[in-house]
Structure 1
Amino acid sequence: MSVPSNMQAVRWHPPSYDIRVESIPIPEIQHPDDAIVKVKLAALCGSDLHVYRGHGGVDKVHTCGHEFIGEVVSLGSSYRTNTQGRPKLYSTLKVGDKVVSPFTVNCGECHVCRLGYTARCPEGALFGSPALEGGQAQYVRVPKAGGTLFNLSNPNTWSTALSEQEKEKALTGLADSSLLMLADILPTGVFAALQALNHPKVQPILTGRPWPLCFSPEISTEGNEISFTPEDRILTIAIIGLGPVGICAAVSLLDALATRKIPFRIVAIDLLEARREKMKAVYDAIDASGKGSGEFEVLSADDAKVLVDDWTGGVGCTAVLEVVGHPSALTSAYNLVRDFGAIVSVGVHGEPPLPYTGRQVYNKNVSFDFGRCPARAMFPLAFDLLVKRQDVFGGVGQAASLIDRIVSFKEATENYRAFDKGEVGKVIFSPWDC
């Protein structure tokens, strides 16, 4: 039987709103560190919409998508037994292994990767961009695959808090549509929650010690005339944007607060009623162990501001997670956050300048944390949460499912349009369904 030379792929054409399914050559090994992956499922992400709308500063036709799961079908010459001084996958990855890829390539060997900042590897590239063809295709080439991929056929190649038995059971029991979330949206949601909870501006509330003694536990606070009240220990957080990443951030944040038994008040915000209803359904589906005992509200932007003022006596949120990627969302975050608060932004922002003046920044002592999630570094934490929260990450098409539908490439153009209009949530493509 002859091997086909072409494949089907979802391609974007400039200047905007032009998605076509086309036949293009199957990628081949170009470098010894490459792998070729046969894609089983690929997802449509909110970040794809920036290019789709013509806002990404892109003018080159390319294959879309940066979330995919599949099977290794070809490996470069770097993959051999007992490779020394390189990431483990160069010694263990085999043709036939099931893999999931983070949305960026990273070498896994440089100073930046060793520190865990894998999203900014100097050799990195974003799938689904002019720099690197994407995963909404039947096959995809993965550069630096030994430092990029996660081998779901060999769980001994990555760390987890789960036992070996729990990990192997999860990998055989979890649906590929669920595991696909590890490519971007779940690590990014976990990253946003982690950035907020570990921010220096949040530590006085978590430790019960005033600034800056919260960083010096060896120094007594007995000299303080006024002690913390129970109200001072309540963490108040807003989440702006309830697309798939925003929901993942909310689930991650709730799980962390419940595990650590931290008192909290969270308001989840979106302009679209459909997204607010999805967030409510997800929250209702989470069992008590993942909710904690705090307050959780889902509201429009205007109603949220009223509620935060009521909760805090007009002081504002301890931290705000911005998961939209638009100047108006940053303005809302600034209006909601307290003096000496923190804004954590994982939304993908374009060229427009930030909507703050120097005076605004100075007057509030606000800290800003922007940027791309280091998805590969976040994988172990995201995997453990995925296993724990199958009540919301395990299904497809139900009210509380993060994934709304799985469709063929023939429906790609329509689903890009519907996703752009907020008519559908998370969409997954099955490349081989004709």
Structure 2
Amino acid sequence: MSELNGTQKAVRWHPPSYDVRVDDIPIPQGHSGVHDVHICGHEFIGEVVALGSSFGAESAKGRPPLYSRLEVGHKVVSPFTVNCGECSVCRLGYTARCTGSLLFGSPLLNGGQAQYVRVPKAGGTLFDLSEPSTWASSMTETEKEKALSNLSDSSLLMLADILPTGVFAATQAINHPKVQPFITGKPWPLCFSSAPVPEGLQILDEDKVFTVAIVGLGPVGVCAAVSLLDIVSTRKIPFRIIAIDPNGSRREKMKAVYGAIDEDGKAGGEFVVVSVDEAKQKSKEWTHGVGCTAVLEVVGNTSALELAYDLVRAFGVITSVGVHQQRPLPFTGGNAYDKNVSLDFGRCPARAMFPPAFDLLVKRQDIFGTIGQPASLIDKIVDFGQAEESYRAFDKGEVGKVLFDPWK
């Protein structure tokens, strides 16, 4: 591996207090260790400047294709976790829980808010944006290349975390077994069978409406809403979606995003953006007190989970992609039993979710391709000199998605 010498600027967290600083530190060299003070950021895009000894035609036989095809100078985007691409877990698509997985921007692995980033297991982790044949898509190779030529770096950065995570939350909900009666129009358990529904067991049109609540309208929540709207409108599933956040500015962002989507992208249902108290009332109104078919929880705290439980119907689904710390769940096993609630928790397998996320990114450039507009997911791009203030403002809900340009 060729080595780069000197120092770089990086945004680092100095725990245990909420202390974010921009530091001058050495450029990473090989398998450098990480101490408690670490570089922030788990989303990054960049250019390959050096390759390790694992890369090359001879050493890459039988390994993920990037080990033989990735070259210095290629543009890449990384998911927020390292994944080997070679273990059984990765082969099954559960890349977020690869046996060798590490999270960028943690004490175990320095993050991406720096001028240079070291990527372990890079051949199984990175998306090579210079070589579209190395990843799947519903598009043809020609369509992929054309799409890439029209996508800005700021747009492509959404692939690192927030867009795949939003798509993951929506995908888990729409494909859950308990949702299938709404999709197939057949009651449980005949929804899994090709057998005809006997007379007298048919469900009514009003029973088929897929009612979903999205708790939290930060960047991931907006991505989840956009993905869910795309799925239900494309598949012509009757729907009602309740988008919820206590923060007024985030609600306004969600309203602007919804307003920017063309009619074909949201046809077939109703969509409202509301506060927490309004959400409970709207759920009762729309479902006659029964509750939502599914709830997407994208916040990561106990109050959000409490709200999700309150809103979900019996035989409903809660899919949580928020990052929960080590504290008790706000409901008991008895509560879950009493509602027959299914709970899906955990980290998005971003590497596996890349193909559908990329396709949605291309399709919804009206949302992901602009900066600083009312309907833009990205509010602004700043240099590292504004990093500390940007963290403070985001933490207080004063600003939405902010990107750092380390070379600005």
- In the superposition, the TM-score normalised over structure 2's length comes to 0.97
CA offsets 1:366-405 (integer angstroms, 9 cap, x no match): 0000000000000000000000000000000000000001
Contact 1:127–1:135, Cα closer than 8 Å, also in 2: yes
The match for 2:318 is 343
In structure 1, distance between residues paired with 2:145 and 2:360: 15
* SS of structure 2 residue aligned to 1:14: coil
State the shift of 1:3 in Å. Answer: 6.2
In structure 1, distance between residues paired with 2:96 and 2:146: 29
The unaligned stretches of length 5 or more in structure 1 are 32-57
CA offsets 1:85-135 (integer angstroms, 9 cap, x no match): 100000100000000000000000000000000000010100000110000
Answering whether residue 79 of structure 2 is matched by residue 78 of structure 1, we say no
The match for 2:90 is 113
- In the superposition, the TM-score normalised over structure 1's length comes to 0.91
In structure 1, distance between residues paired with 2:102 and 2:50: 20
In structure 2, distance between residues paired with 1:154 and 1:290: 30
Q: How many residues align?
A: 404
Answering whether residue 64 of structure 2 is matched by residue 63 of structure 1, we say no
CA offsets 1:157-206 (integer angstroms, 9 cap, x no match): 10101122221011111000000000000000000000000001100111
Q: After the TM superposition, which parts of structure 1 deviate over 4 Å for at least 4 consecutive aligned residues?
A: none
The two structures, once aligned, show a CA RMSD in angstroms of: 1.4
**Counting strand residues as a fraction of each chain, which structure ranks higher?**
1
In structure 2, distance between residues paired with 1:90 and 1:70: 18
* SS of structure 2 residue aligned to 1:338: strand
Contact 1:344–1:370, Cα closer than 8 Å, also in 2: yes
* SS of structure 1 residue aligned to 2:49: strand
The match for 1:322 is 297
* Match of residue 387, structure 1, among 362, 365, 371: 362
CA offsets 1:267-300 (integer angstroms, 9 cap, x no match): 1000000000000000000112211220000000
In structure 2, distance between residues paired with 1:77 and 1:166: 33
Look up the equivalent residue of 1:127 and give its one-letter code.
Answer: F
The match for 1:140 is 117
Contact 1:15–1:59, Cα closer than 8 Å, also in 2: no
Contact 1:112–1:118, Cα closer than 8 Å, also in 2: yes
In structure 1, distance between residues paired with 2:220 and 2:180: 25
In structure 2, distance between residues paired with 1:18 and 1:112: 36
In structure 1, distance between residues paired with 2:182 and 2:333: 27
State the shift of 1:213 in Å. Answer: 1.2
Q: How does 1:369-380 map to 2 (within 5 A)?
A: 369-380=344-355
Contact 1:105–1:126, Cα closer than 8 Å, also in 2: yes
State the shift of 1:60 in Å. Answer: 1.6
* SS of structure 2 residue aligned to 1:28: coil
Contact 1:14–1:59, Cα closer than 8 Å, also in 2: no
Answering whether residue 177 of structure 2 is matched by residue 177 of structure 1, we say no
Answering whether residue 222 of structure 2 is matched by residue 221 of structure 1, we say no
How has the CA–CA distance of structure 1 residues 211 and 59 changed in structure 2, closer, same or farther, with 3 Å as cutoff? Answer: farther
Look up the equivalent residue of 2:79 and give its one-letter code.
Answer: P
In structure 2, distance between residues paired with 1:427 and 1:204: 40
Answering whether residue 179 of structure 2 is matched by residue 202 of structure 1, we say yes
* Match of residue 378, structure 2, among 384, 390, 403: 403
The match for 2:24 is 23
User: Which stretch has the larger CA shift, 342-351 or 4-13?
Assistant: 4-13
